[in-house]
Amino acid sequence: MRKTFWDRLPAKQYLAAQEQHLVRYIRESVYPFSPYYRELLDYNRIKPGVIKSLQDLSCIPFTTKADIAPLPEDPEIPFNLVLRPTPERLKEAGAAARLKRSWLRLTHGAKGYQELTDYEFLPVHHHFTIGRTALPTPILYTAYDLARMREAGRRLFELLELQRGDLVINAFPFAPHLAFWMTYFATEASGISALHTGGGRILGTHRVLEALERLGGTVLTATPSYAYHLLRTSAREARDLSRLHTLVLGGDRLPVGLKDKMRDLLAKVGAEKAVVASTYGFTEGRVAWSECRPSAASKEKSSGYHLFPDMEVMEIIDPESGRRRDEGEDGEIVYTTLDWRGSVLLRFRTGDLVKGGIEYGPCPYCGRSLPRLGYEITRTSEYKEFELTKVKGTLVDLNAFYPLLSGHKDVLEWQLEIRKRNDDPFDLDELYLHIAPAEGMSKKYLEKELRELMLREIEVAPTRIVFHSLPRLLQRLGLDTKGREKRFLDLRSMAGREAEEAEEPEPQESMEFDDLDAEEEEGCLEADTENHTSRDQEDDS
């Protein structure tokens, strides 16, 4: 696998090259051809010539998820992010851009020039954000962009030292989302054989495991929760996964405790030396970034996620003031597209908070000089409606439950349910914590320990802890039936709808609990839009 040119450049050199690239990109591509950013810059009286350095990027206003999400009355908003080199805009582009277009037209003829223009600017591939708090937002790729995604995937596999002889079992859910397609294009670009299973929802857990064992899969890509489920099932069935040497996990955060639990399970299925690598990505960012293999193999502090300085510009800002942070300081991740043609974003606020910010020195594990994002990232953008809520008068970050519960040695699986007391929309919030305990674990002891742990770390205890058998909780989570596990259920809106329905003059039919459970399994998409309730409150283990 060929090496990447950027890997060994000193920070001073790649930052200088990145700066030149950014200035030219904004002047010659973004301002002339982006309907959204041309209007934004003109409205704020910002001329593209003002951007002369990376520091000058701070002159441009932030872009947020709310700015680019489609609205029922205006579904075309996201499509204004796509570069459109119309003849009128080409006339207004810089001299260098006009000269380039004239040369291409001269050397390729009218038909060839149109084909080149379509390759560079015509959207041919869509991804979608999850859409938990708004309509799903499309992120568009041109053929030019897909070539860049292939290159980013090749570099990611290079970081993880994967080889042509490997076999990748792709267990990410099949959907128009980044994780599945990044893996697809990475294997294609690297020339590595792959089976793209679609995960438990498409191929089924049993067949995914059969592929891993019988085909001798050496690399598994999946969400952390589903990979843990696969390994746990493999250990229970005494499967031989001794050829598996790398797990590439994405789509959700990977707490250190969960990583350790996976290593223990890998040892039980004959893969003692397998590496568990975490990746970071978000749909708007176009690609995913990974730890290097030596870092993933170490039990010491992670190196962080190695970035691609020719594909994006990352800033770390103070989430309150919006001011840029210095190297190594905590803050919010802000992303700027570099040399993409489809959905272009300048200074996009991800809402994700990173400890340690960005480091520009050589990686202590692999020696690469690429910039690196800190490993500890709070994925607030994924569950924005759950980010902060008041429970018993205390403001709680519910994302903090991830490292506490996923990394707990005595908790096999968990789910958090937020509901209203007595199903009254005007009453207090309640937290129901559903737990599948480790085999032989005393429920009384575990309940006491979890309550004390949460009071100490989050300053709030669940209203009730409900114990389940592992199969029952897996069913609630939908790991085998849904594209993404239902880790959080917000039933407060259900109570609100019931209150509104009670005010209607027409009589409402009652729904039995069994029917309600069935509707939850079929109609609830990862707690995104329809939030149905299940009233099992008893111990069913």
347-388, pLDDT tens digit by residue?
Answer: 999 999 999 999 999 999 999 999 999 999 986 544 444 444
Predicted TM-score of the model (pTM)? 0.77
Topology at the third CATH level for domain 1-381: Rossmann fold (3.40.50)
Q: Which of 271, 167, 180 is nearest to 215 (CA)?
A: 167
Q: How confident is the model at residue 510, as a pLDDT?
A: 30
Q: Which of 203, 140, 148 is nearest to 170 (CA)?
A: 203
Q: Which of 197, 195, 189, 193 is nearest to 158 (CA)?
A: 189
CATH number for region 384-523:
3.30.300.30
CATH 3.30.300.30 location in the chain: 384-523
Q: Write down the number of H helices and E strands in the chain.
A: 17, 21
pLDDT digits (tens, 9 = 90+) for 282-306: 999 999 999 999 999 998 999 999 9
Could you give the dihedral angle defined by the CA atoms of residues 307, 313, 318 and 320, in that order, rounded to the nearest 10 degrees? Answer: -120
Q: How confident is the model at residue 187, as a pLDDT?
A: 97
Distances (CA, A) of 177 to 80, 131, 405, 422: 20, 11, 26, 38
CATH 3.40.50.12780 location in the chain: 1-381
Q: Which residues of the chain have pLDDT under 70?
A: 1-3, 91-94, 130-135, 379-398, 424-428, 481-484, 493-541
